[in-house]
Amino acid sequence: MKEPARRRWLAETKWLADHLEDPTIRIVDMRGIVQTSMTGPGEQYAVYRGQREEYRGAHIPGAVYLDWTADIIDFADPVPAQVAPPERIAAVFGKAGIGDDTTVVAYDTHPASQFATRLWWVLCYYGHDKVKVLNGGLPKWQREGRPLSGDIPTYPPAIFTPQPRPAMRATAAQVLAALGQPNISIADARDADQYDNRLKRGKRGGHIPGAIHLPREAFFDELGCFRTQQEIADEARAAGLSPTNQVIAYCNGGVAATSVLFCLNLLGYQHLTNYDGSWNEWSNRAELPVES
């Protein structure tokens, strides 16, 4: 019998607590932050950073740390925070003890788990489906009084074999070609102020023409836990999404978009694509259309 999608992709805190000593599992702390500041009326600037020091202070026992701003990005790409090429991914995951047979459990402290879901997407994009996101992240783990550690673990190197799935990552040209296609939905995971051009981050404000607004927060409760399957399905239906359509999600840097894609994945959606360049790329290319 096929495992239910929610149980396959979501790890509950009790399950993880029961599997802390499982050698086939690698827990990955993905804590990070997007620091924003106002540079003028309605204009915002963002700085991306990891939280390695916070990890060193205390983390779930046995967890390794990966920095979403350094370890899994392409330093040669002018667009910030783009996914790293295969050879770098193989090296980084292999050094962390993540091999082809490893089950990865990712967590962070973000109220929409967007850094943990970013790792989920990176792994799936590179053909590795043995990955779960911790429901509620570190905050839920701490609320329940579960153990923390300051020890930095080391693991034997592993062999990770990247097998890219091109359909899971869209270029700007592919998004442009998708505009107006009846079988493709484009979802904007950013805040409403950015979508409506009341707040601009980048050279231009607004959104990709025809994109629906589907903020990542819609799928999470006030404690940062994933809503029920029914509630997630209701949000997706209200946004006009269909499991038979391809859904291309974007945000500012291809990270918040993965929260939306992960939740649609919980519903069994099969055709999920991340526009990795997102608004960081789209807003800065004058030849690409904008709707505001």
Q: What are 48-61's pLDDT values in tens digits?
A: 999 999 999 999 99
Distance CA 205, CA 282 (A): 10
Residue 113 gets the label, from left (phi > 0), alpha (psi -120 to 50) or beta, of left
Q: Predicted confidence band at 1 (pLDDT cuts at 50, 70, 90)? A: low
Domains present along the chain, CATH in parentheses: 5-165 (3.40.250.10), 167-282 (3.40.250.10)
Above 90 in pLDDT, residue 2?
Answer: no
Above 80 in pLDDT, residue 263?
Answer: yes
Residue 276 gets the label, from left (phi > 0), alpha (psi -120 to 50) or beta, of alpha
Indicate the range of 1-15, 25-39, 228-242, 254-268 predicted with least confidence. 1-15
pLDDT of residue 272: 98
144 Cα distance to chain centroid: 25
Catalytic residues: 251
pLDDT of residue 3: 77
Q: What are 89-141's pLDDT values in tens digits?
A: 999 999 999 999 999 999 999 999 999 999 999 999 999 999 999 999 999 99
Distance CA 30, CA 51 (A): 8
